[in-house]
Amino acid sequence: MKPVLPAVSIKALSFSFFNADRRALDGIDLDIPEGQFVAITGPSGCGKSTLAMAIGGYIPHVVEGRLEGSVEVGGLRTDRARLADLSTRVGIVQQDPESQLCTLDVDDEVAFGPENLALPADEVRARVGRSLALVDALHLRGRNIYELSGGEKQRVAIASILAMAPGVLILDEPTSNLDPTATAEVLAAVAKLRQATGLTIVVIEHKLDRVMPLADRLLIMDRGRIVLDGRPAEVLRQYRERIKEMGIRLPAEPGSRWRCAPRDHPAPAECVETVKVQGLRSGYDGREVLHDVNFKACGGEIVGIIGPNGSGKTTFLTHLLGIRRPGQGSVAVCGMDTRAVKVSRLARSAGYVFQNPNHQIFERTVRGEAGFACDNFGIGRETCDRRVDEELARFGLLDYADRHPLGLSFGEKRRLNLCSVLPHQPQVLLLDEPFVGQDFFKVAVMMDELQGLKREGKTILMVSHDIDMVYRHCDRVVLFLDGRIAVDDAPEAARTRIAALGMNEYLPGGCP
């Protein structure tokens, strides 16, 4: 009997980017049988996405560097096969699905790959319908891609890969930018897909509670190596033991959600009002997005902002920095009317971390990026350099100080964004999904930093889909629904009110 080849076979694989001294992958040996569901996790920057690019053939065909060893997918060596041939063996849905969308229409997007294979028109149409059906997205046919929600875009991105009929599907943090409802929908689609097709599926994820029920196997990576590999429950047990031996206190056990422990935080003894929004109405493209929003925040507060994709959270933050101006009503930050003051002036008092880390990278080195605002605002060179190095060290980026920031991993870029708004010490921090791409160690470091800034009297507004983090660490929980603030209260009271709305996906883990 002819032996069954693994879907993926990796032998002695090492890879270094040309501008890096350290190996991003270091001696990887890995076989993945056909039909297996493999989850991969590990610290931010440990090589997870690099491994995905190697399996998909992006390395070495698109991303160049020093490559040793071999990767075979469906019997093809990735370094010797054409990308066109590999695309029918393996497909990658990237961490940011927008980065791989090529067209404006859902049908055109899903048809893009098969059309480039020069398949007959009837076959292309059949694949479009079949692929959209597999991810429960047939109702999206004919829609404009950029009018879709984050969860809808993610499902279209998966369908566009499925239309190529690969044997291996790789999902790189598929739910990192999705609200809890969309997360449940996408993972349900992945579960249905696996049951219907028997695909080999590899999912890279930090929040293991999302994928543990689906996984046959769990890999833990660290410093470019696979350090643990086996059945998920056993690997998690070993992982916890390794962490305890390192003497690190975890905010929560890996693979579990925060316990149901929302707690009321004491309000500042005296409210020094730093943000005041009254009767805000605003929109774009002829559509009102925010409807009569009233809000205030004080120095020494961390306010967590939650809600579905498209509910107005990011639009609200952009008004606080003056990027968007009110249609009606008023917005004041640190006493400045955002309609009367330039964004450059507001930015001295309000530091903004954008949702997509690539949207605010300007410099050619990590150190230059971290000091960009500090330099622009005329703070002394010696002071800037000292503060920049302190922040880079705190967030584990000092070793990369002379590298180009676009060469960092997604999670590292996210931390760099935060580093870049801290050295000039703004009074208000506006953070849009700050924990995306972060392992629990880095999240703990980031929260320690934010709690320290709170004690200094800073105001922190944090949009996040990490519901458990919001309840555990924020003084107030604000729920946006359809462009309105539906709930604004202390965590325990907010939990009760949100539960009464029947929105259980916006309650902390374990809560009824």
pLDDT score, position 430: 97
Do residues 227 and 355 share a domain? no
Residue 512, pLDDT above cutoff 50: no
Residue 342, pLDDT above cutoff 80: yes
Residue partners of 137: CB distance under 8 A and separation at least 6:
106, 152, 155, 156, 159, 189
What pTM, to 2 d.p., does this model score? 0.82
315 lies in some domain: yes
CA nearest neighbour of 258 among 497, 464, 479, 478: 464
Element (H, E) at 359: none
Per-residue pLDDT, averaged over 83-107, amounts to 89
Q: What would the pLDDT profile of 111-121 be if each residue is shown by its tens digit?
A: 999 999 999 99
Q: Which domain holds residue 370?
A: 273-506
CATH of the domain at 315: 3.40.50.300
Do residues 290 and 347 share a domain? yes
Q: Tally the residues of the chain.
A: 512
Question: SS3 string of 332-369?
Answer: EECCEECCCCCHHHHHHHEEEECCCHHHHCCCCCHHHH
Do residues 230 and 351 share a domain? no
Burial of 401 (0-12, 13-18, 19+ CB in 10 A): middle
Place of tokens 């003497």: 247
Looking at per-residue pLDDT, the higher value among 111 and 189 belongs to 111
DSSP, residue by residue, 494-509: HHHHHHHTT-GGGS-T
Do residues 459 and 351 share a domain? yes
Do residues 190 and 325 share a domain? no
Per-residue pLDDT, averaged over 402-411, amounts to 87
Do residues 172 and 281 share a domain? no
Number of domains making up the chain:
2
Do residues 239 and 385 share a domain? no
* Phi, psi for residue 291 in degrees, rounded to 5: -125, 105
Do residues 114 and 164 share a domain? yes
Strands 217-222 and 225-230, bridge-based pairing: antiparallel
477 lies in some domain: yes
Residue 481, phi-psi category: left (phi > 0), alpha (psi -120 to 50), beta (remainder)? beta
Average pLDDT, the chain: 89
Residue 255, pLDDT above cutoff 80: no
Q: What would the pLDDT profile of 211-222 be if each residue is shown by its tens digit?
A: 888 999 999 999
255 lies in some domain: no
- Helix, coil or strand: residue 207: coil
Residue 266: pLDDT band by 50, 70, 90 thresholds?
A: low
